[in-house]
C-alpha cells in the first residue's frame, strides 16, 4: 500500500510541473495565478490513513524532491510539507475520514502551506510579490483550485486504502 | 506529557534552524550542479519532458483546440501532429532567421518542465553543460529575451525568467531613443502591472512610449542587441534623481516550448580572461 501511495504521489508530482503548466489560467494570460499542489492534497489525504511515521517520512521525501526539482533552495518544502501533513494527521485523529472532513482539512492544509511557502520565499528573497497581491491573486485562487482537484485525489487514495487495507490492518492499528 | 511537548517544540526549532542553514547554503546562483542533486534533476527532467512536450502540439497556436462536433481520437491525434509540425517548422525557421541576423552561436533547446511554484519563475530546458550551456548565459525565444541560465547540470539547465521578482543581478539595457542610446539597469518585475522595471535611467534622457529596449553591449554576460521589449511608462523615482522606465516585454513567458541559449564568443573570452 505504501508503495502504491508513493507511486501515486510521484505521478501527481510529475503532472504538477508538466501537464498542468499548459492548462492553468496563467498559461492563457490570466492575472490570477494558480499554483497546482497536487502532492500536498495527496499528502493530506494520506495523512488521514497512514500512521505517523510514514506520514512524516513520505512528506519529508516528497518535500525534498520538490525542493531539488522545482524549488529555488533546498529545505523549504522539505520542512513545510511534513509540518502541514503532521497538522492534518493530528486533526484527523479525532474524526473519522469522511469526505467533508477531508475537504475541510485539505482547504486548511493548502491555505497554511501556501502562506508558509510565500513567507519563506519572501524571507529568503526569492519573491517580491506584495502581501495583498499574493493573497488575492495567488493564495486564494490556488487554495480553491487545489481543494477541487483534491477531491478526485482523495477518492483515489481512499480506493487504494480500501483495496489494500485488509493485508496491513493489524499492522496499522498497532502503530497508530 | 510535558516532556513530550518540550521535545516537540525542540524538534520544530531544530528543523527551522536546519531550514535556514540549508536554504542559505543551497541558494546558489551560477553553479554547475553535480552529484545527487544533478542526477535527480536530470532524471526528473527526462520524465517530465515525456509529459510536457506532447502538449505543445495541442496548444500550438496558443488558442487550444476548439471543435463543435466531438472528433474521434484519431482525428485529434492527427490534428495535434499537424499543429506540432507546423509550429515546430515555424519556430525553427524563425530561429534560423534570428541566428543569421544576430551572428551569435546559439544552442537550441526545448523546455521540459516549469516549476509550479509561481513565487519564483523558472523553467528547465533539456540542454546542459555537456552541450555547452554555462550558467549566466542569456536565453531567448524568437520574440526576445526571456531569462538567463541560473544553474546547470550535465543534461539540464535551470532558467530564471525575467519575470522572477526575486534577487538576481540586474541586466544592463539600453533604450533606443531618437538622440542615441540611453543606458539603464533592469531590476525586477512589477507583478501588478506586469511590466519589467528599468532603473538608473538619467533624468536628462526622455524615453518615449513605444521605443525599443535591447540588451547593452557593455554587459559582462549579455551580448548586445537582444530584444527585451518596448517602453510603456516613465516615472521619476522616489528621490527624484533618476527615472524609472516600465518595460512591456516582447516575449511571452507562458507556454514556452522552443528556446535558444545564446553563446557569445566575446563574452566567454572575457570571462576566461577575468579568471
Sequential pLDDT tens for chain A (176 residues): 778 888 999 999 998 888 888 888 888 878 888 999 999 999 998 888 888 888 899 999 999 999 888 888 888 899 999 999 999 888 888 877 678 888 888 999 999 999 999 999 888 888 888 889 889 989 999 999 999 999 999 888 888 888 876 655 555 555 55
User: In the structure grid, which three cell numbers stand for residue B70, read together?
Assistant: 466531438
- The model's confidence at residue B101, banded by pLDDT at 50, 70 and 90, is low
Look at residue A72 and tell me if it is in a domain.
yes
pLDDT at B73: 58
A117 to chain B, any CB pair closer than 8 A? The answer is yes
Look at residue B15 and tell me if it is in a domain.
no
8 Å CB contact of A75 and B26: yes
pLDDT at B60: 54
% of chain B surpassing 90 pLDDT: 2
Residue from A118, A61, A120, A119 nearest A85 by CA: A61
8 Å CB contact of B116 and A36: yes
One domain, residues B158 and B219: no
Q: Give the minimum alpha-carbon distance from A20 to chain B in angstroms, rounded to a whole number.
A: 8
Q: What ipTM does this complex have? A: 0.82
Quick: pLDDT tens for B50-100: 888 887 767 654 443 333 344 555 666 676 667 667 777 877 777 776 655
Nearest to B41 among A15, A20, A69 (CB): A69
Domain hosting B205: range is 171-249
pLDDT at A92: 83
Chain B: residue whose CA lies nearest to A12: B48
Number of domains observed in the structure of chain B: 2
Contact residues for A126 (Cβ-Cβ < 8 A; gap 6+): A72, A73, B119, B120, B166, B167
Look at residue B25 and tell me if it is in a domain.
no
Q: Please write down the HEC assignment for all residues of chain B.
A: CHHHHHHHHHHHHHHHHHHHHHHHHHCCCCCECCHHHHHHHHHHHHHHHHHHHHHHHHCCCCCCCCCCCCCCHHHHHHHHHHHHHHHHHHHHHHHHHHHHHHCCEEEEEEEEEECCCCCCCEEEECCCHHHCCCCCCEEEECCEEEEEEEEECCCCEEEEECCCCCCCCCEEEEEEECCEEEEEEEEEEECCCCEEEEEEECCCCCCCCCCEEEECCCCCCCCCCCEEEEEEEEEECCCCCCEEEEEEECCCCCCCCEEEEEECHHHHHHHHHHC
Look at residue A102 and tell me if it is in a domain.
yes
pLDDT at B253: 85
Residue B127 has pLDDT above 50, yes or no: yes
Look at residue A24 and tell me if it is in a domain.
no
Phi/psi at A165 (5° precision): -70, -30
Number of domains observed in the structure of chain A: 1
Look at residue A140 and tell me if it is in a domain.
yes
Domain hosting A127: range is 34-165
One domain, residues B233 and B137: no
Residue B43 has pLDDT above 70, yes or no: yes
A residues 134-153 lying closer than 8 A (beta carbon) to B: 134, 137-138
Amino acid at each position: 500500500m505504501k508503495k502504491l501511495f508513493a507511486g501515486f504521489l510521484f505521478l501527481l508530482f510529475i503532472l504538477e510541473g508538466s501537464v498542468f503548466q499548459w492548462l492553468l489560467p496563467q498559461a492563457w494570460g490570466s492575472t490570477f495565478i494558480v499554483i497546482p499542489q497536487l502532492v500536498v492534497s495527496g499528502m493530506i489525504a494520506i495523512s488521514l490513513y497512514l500512521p505517523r511515521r510514514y506520514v512524516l517520512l513520505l512528506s519529508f521525501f516528497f518535500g525534498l524532491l520538490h525542493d531539488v526539482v522545482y524549488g529555488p533552495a533546498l529545505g523549504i518544502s522539505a520542512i513545510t510539507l511534513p509540518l502541514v501533513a503532521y497538522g492534518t494527521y493530528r486533526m484527523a485523529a479525532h474524526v473519522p475520514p469522511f469526505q467533508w472532513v477531508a475537504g475541510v482539512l485539505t482547504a486548511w492544509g493548502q491555505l497554511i502551506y501556501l502562506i508558509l511557502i510565500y513567507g519563506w520565499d519572501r524571507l529568503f528573497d526569492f519573491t517580491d510579490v506584495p502581501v495583498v497581491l499574493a493573497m488575492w491573486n495567488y493564495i486564494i485562487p490556488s487554495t480553491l483550485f487545489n481543494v477541487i482537484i483534491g477531491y478526485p485525489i482523495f477518492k483515489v487514495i481512499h480506493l487504494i486504502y480500501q483495496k489494500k487495507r485488509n493485508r496491513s490492518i493489524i499492522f496499522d492499528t498497532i502503530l497508530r | 506529557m510535558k516532556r513530550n511537548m518540550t521535545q516537540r517544540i525542540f524538534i520544530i526549532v531544530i528543523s527551522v534552524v536546519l531550514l535556514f542553514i540549508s536554504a542559505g547554503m543551497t541558494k546558489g546562483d551560477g553553479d554547475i550542479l553535480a552529484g545527487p542533486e544533478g542526477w535527480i534533476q536530470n532524471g526528473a527532467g527526462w520524465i517530465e519532458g515525456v509529459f510536457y512536450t506532447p502538449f505543445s502540439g495541442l496548444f500550438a497556436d496558443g488558442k487550444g483546440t476548439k471543435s463543435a462536433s466531438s472528433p474521434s481520437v484519431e482525428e485529434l491525434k492527427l490534428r495535434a501532429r499537424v499543429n506540432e509540425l507546423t509550429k515546430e517548422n515555424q519556430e525553427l525557421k524563425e530561429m534560423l532567421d534570428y541566428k543569421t541576423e544576430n551572428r551569435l552561436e546559439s544552442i537550441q533547446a526545448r523546455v521540459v518542465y516549469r516549476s509550479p511554484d509561481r513565487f519564483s519563475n523558472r523553467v528547465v530546458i533539456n540542454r546542459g553543460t555537456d552541450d555547452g550551456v554555462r550558467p549566466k548565459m542569456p536565453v531567448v525565444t524568437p520574440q526576445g529575451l526571456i531569462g538567463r541560465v541560473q544553474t546547470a547540470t550535465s543534461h539540464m539547465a535551470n532558467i530564471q525568467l525575467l519575470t522572477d521578482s526575486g534577487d538576481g543581478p540586474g541586466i544592463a539595457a539600453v533604450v533606443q531613443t531618437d538622440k542615441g542610446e540611453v543606458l539603464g539597469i533592469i531590476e525586477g518585475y512589477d507583478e501588478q502591472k506586469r511590466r519589467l522595471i528599468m532603473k538608473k535611467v538619467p533624468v536628462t534622457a526622455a524615453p518615449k512610449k513605444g521605443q525599443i529596449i535591447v540588451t547593452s553591449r557593455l554587459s559582462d554576460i549579455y551580448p548586445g542587441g537582444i530584444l527585451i521589449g518596448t517602453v510603456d511608462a516613465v516615472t521619476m523615482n522616489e528621490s527624484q534623481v533618476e527615472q524609472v522606465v516600465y518595460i512591456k516585454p516582447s516575449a511571452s513567458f507562458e507556454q514556452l516550448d522552443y528556446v535558444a541559449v545564446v553563446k557569445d564568443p566575446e563574452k566567454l573570452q572575457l570571462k576566461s580572461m577575468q579568471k
